[in-house]
């Protein structure tokens, strides 16, 4: 009996030693090595784009988990997203709903969503803010112009409040933003996302570019403008052809001390073409933000970077669209002209610009665990 007891003791001791060794080498601690990206407004389209960017290697982050986050009181119905994830058996993309009453008066301070937002921040390595319709001007203290179209105000309440919680802003200078805890946290914001970033930081928006910047009120006159001054395809909705592409490609200027030159490695003289689909843009630039790219005439902000948290980047264009990277995807630009976005980017030496954007994003997210 004693011999059996000694053998059992030695076996248990050996097992305990092995377990400690495995844990110390992180072989069992797989959760600690995971990278999580939060994606706002997880529509089916945004889910498909994110998954395609990963599949194509543009987002190259090991052991990646994606979490689509949305607000319970949005008008948008995310049941289609839930169905899509279930039917396609997607295991690395999940959805989470944030609940709690938000009003215009409590967006830029601790509110009913703050605790859940902080938990989300603590669980993630990066956040992506996507495009969408116009922000209610009341959020940035302006009257609503006739051409501004607000279709889902509670989405904007939520995303503006979340962005403010992350980076802070001049509307509440005493608030301690989440990124003070992790200044290297990564945020990328596209189109509406950059506008939300600016508003959260205390900035304003120009509500219609043709009318408020160029003094043009008619579509026919906008279509006579230089293509470099246009920021959406005005043939879309003007023509009776419903298949015309919604977006517009145009060059931008890079600021010499901005992210694209200092981090992404592009020369200041580069003028890459980008995909735009907006009629609003940043007006007064928010607190602790700097301009990193503009339109060719310098009148439209095309990129913003946080001076306080340098991994927070917003762009007024759309590098996240998967069809930009596939030459076989073709669209109608006018009634008579078809084109491939990927080939257009190739022809204008702009595809490398877009790929470098995602390469830098992937590197910074991956290094956030080191």
Tell whether the model's pLDDT for residue 334 goes beyond 90: no
CA distance 165 to 239: 42
pLDDT for the residue 11: 43
Overall pTM surpassing 0.85 (yes/no):
yes
Tell whether the model's pLDDT for residue 309 goes beyond 80: yes
Task: Provide, rounded to the nearest whole percent, the portion of the chain with pLDDT above 90.
Answer: 85
pLDDT for the residue 30: 42
Mean pLDDT of 338-349: 96
Architecture of domain 40-367: 3-Layer(aba) Sandwich (3.40)
Tell whether the model's pLDDT for residue 100 goes beyond 80: yes
Tell whether the model's pLDDT for residue 143 goes beyond 90: yes
Higher pLDDT among residues 333 and 216, named by residue: 216
Mean pLDDT, the chain, as a whole number? Answer: 91
Q: What is the pLDDT of residues 311-327, one digit of tens each?
A: 999 999 999 999 999 99
pLDDT band at 265 (very low <50, low <70, confident <90, very high): confident
Q: What is the pLDDT of residues 225-262, one digit of tens each?
A: 999 999 999 988 888 888 899 999 999 999 999 999 99
Higher pLDDT among residues 12 and 92, named by residue: 92
Tell whether the model's pLDDT for residue 151 goes beyond 50: yes
Q: What is the pLDDT of residues 164-189, one digit of tens each?
A: 999 999 999 999 999 999 999 999 99
User: Which of 68-82, 214-228, 232-246, 278-292 comes out lowest in average pLDDT?
Assistant: 232-246
């Amino acid at each position: 009996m004693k011999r059996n007891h000694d053998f059992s003791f030695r076996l248990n001791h050996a097992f305990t030693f092995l377990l400690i060794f495995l844990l110390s080498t992180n072989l069992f601690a797989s959760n600690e090595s995971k990278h999580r990206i939060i994606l706002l407004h997880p529509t089916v389209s945004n889910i498909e784009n994110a998954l395609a960017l990963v599949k194509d290697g543009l987002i190259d982050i090991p052991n990646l988990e994606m979490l689509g986050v949305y607000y319970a009181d949005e008008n948008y119905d995310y049941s289609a997203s839930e169905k899509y994830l279930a039917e396609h058996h997607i295991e690395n993309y999940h959805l989470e709903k944030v609940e709690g009453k938000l009003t215009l008066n409590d967006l830029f301070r601790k509110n009913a969503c703050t605790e859940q937002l902080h938990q989300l921040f603590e669980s993630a390595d990066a956040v992506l803010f996507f495009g969408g319709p116009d922000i209610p001007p009341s959020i940035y203290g302006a009257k609503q112009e006739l051409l501004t179209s607000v279709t889902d105000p509670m989405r904007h309440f939520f995303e503006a409040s979340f962005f403010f919680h992350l980076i802070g802003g001049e509307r509440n200078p005493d608030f301690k933003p989440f990124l003070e805890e992790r200044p290297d946290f990564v945020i990328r914001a596209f189109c509406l996302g950059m506008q939300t970033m600016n508003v959260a930081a205390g900035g304003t928006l120009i509500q219609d570019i043709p009318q408020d910047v160029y003094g043009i009120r008619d579509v026919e006159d906008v279509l006579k403008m230089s293509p470099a001054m246009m920021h959406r395809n005005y043939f879309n909705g003007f023509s009776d052809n419903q298949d015309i592409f919604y977006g517009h490609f145009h060059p931008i200027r890079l600021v010499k001390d901005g992210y694209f030159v200092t981090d992404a490695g592009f020369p200041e003289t580069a003028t890459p073409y980008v995909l735009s689909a907006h009629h609003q843009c940043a007006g007064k630039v928010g607190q602790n933000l700097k301009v990193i790219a503009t339109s060719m005439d310098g009148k439209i902000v095309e990129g913003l970077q946080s001076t306080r948290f340098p991994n927070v980047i917003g762009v007024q264009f759309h590098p996240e669209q998967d069809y930009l990277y596939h030459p076989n995807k073709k669209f109608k630009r006018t009634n008579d002209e078809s084109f491939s976005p990927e080939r257009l980017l190739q022809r204008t030496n702009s595809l490398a610009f877009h790929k470098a954007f995602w390469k830098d994003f992937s590197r910074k997210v991956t290094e956030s665990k080191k």
